[in-house]
Amino acid sequence: MVDNGPPTGPSIGAGMAPTGGTVLRAEAIEAGYGRVQVLWGAGLTVRPQESVVLLGANGAGKTTLLKVIVGLLPAWKGHVVLDPDDVTSWRTDRRVRRGMAYMSELGVFPGLSIEENLRVGGQFIDRSALRTRMDELFSYFPDLAARRSTLAGALSGGQRKMLGIAKALASSPRLLVMDEPSAGLSPLFVGQVIEVLGKFREQGLAMLIAEQNVAFLDLADRVFTLEGGRIRFEGTVAALEADDSLHKAYFGLS
């Protein structure tokens, strides 16, 4: 196993006692690939209507933690609780049926049209509910509404990201889990993605957003930082900014 070195601070998630009032609880997760351990007791919580940002540099283990949370990678140790169920051993589709949605960095199927992507995203809800949901989503994403039969692969990077968000939301989830929504986007499109996510946040959608772009902290009710597969900090954006070493690590020396 790879030793990522000693923890750089308290591992908040390790041995976390059960707490009420959460949509999602990942507890003391250990996981990795083959014999390579990436997560070393990482844990986090998302409360109802809360927007949580998981901040970490390249290679910190954000994607790995998200994959364990959504069931694409098994946890070696620890638990994932999607209120009220311990879903640690559940397949991804079962978690999606219970209200979890996932947007990977890629996010869409390029060979399918905009409408087909939304149908895939909403495959577990009934037809009439999906029709209503799609109309609702198209009102948030007018550029997509105008091009329903266009292939996702023909869209610009920014539009593709919007489609990824819409596809994840097609199932009307209670928790949206997103892996680096800023990936591959120019600052202009990053701003647009943050704006549209802000609208869903206002409606009370619980979100977990893994990012290295601090612009996403505008959306954060709470922040967790991940370093070397361990949670180093949990708290508000103000508390993160007030901590000198974290401020230097994530906001530079200004």
Residue 61 near ligand ATP by CB under 6 A? yes
| Structure-token pair, residue 187 | 């600052």
Q: Interface mask (CB under 6 A) for ligand ATP, residues 163-202, using x and -?
A: ----------------------------------------
3-state secondary structure the chain: CCCCCCCCCCCCCCCCCCCCCCCEEEEEEEEEECCEEEEEEEEEEECCCCEEEEECCCCCCHHHHHHHHHCCCCCCEEEEEECCEECCCCCHHHHHHCCEEEECCCCCCCCCEHHHHHHHHCCCCCHHHHHHHHHHHHHHCHHHHCCCCCEHHHCCHHHHHHHHHHHHHCCCCCEEEEECCCCCCCHHHHHHHHHHHHHHHHCCCEEEEEECCHHHHHHCCEEEEEECCEEEEEECHHHHHHCHHHHHHHHCCC
Tell me how far, at minimum, the Cβ of 31 lies from ligand ATP, in Å: 9
Residue 63 near ligand ATP by CB under 6 A? yes
**Residue of 165, 216, 229 whose CA lies nearest to 7:** 229
Residue 254 near ligand ATP by CB under 6 A? no
Single out the segment in contact with ligand ATP by CB under 6 A; choices: 60-68, 106-114, 141-149, 155-163: 60-68
- Measured from the CB atom, is 63 or 88 closer to ligand ATP? 63
Residue 33 near ligand ATP by CB under 6 A? yes
Residue in 52, 60, 169, 170 binding ligand ATP, rule: CB under 6 A: 60
Residue in 25, 62, 95, 167 binding ligand ATP, rule: CB under 6 A: 62
**Cα four-point dihedral sign 120, 122, 128, 132:** negative
Tell me how far, at minimum, the Cβ of 34 lies from ligand ATP, in Å: 7
Q: Interface mask (CB under 6 A) for ligand ATP, residues 112-151, using x and -?
A: ----------------------------------------
Tell me how far, at minimum, the Cβ of 75 lies from ligand ATP, in Å: 14
Residue 64 near ligand ATP by CB under 6 A? yes
Single out the segment in contact with ligand ATP by CB under 6 A; choices: 33-41, 95-103, 170-178, 231-239: 33-41
Binding site for ligand ATP (CB under 6 A): 33, 36, 38, 56, 58-64, 212
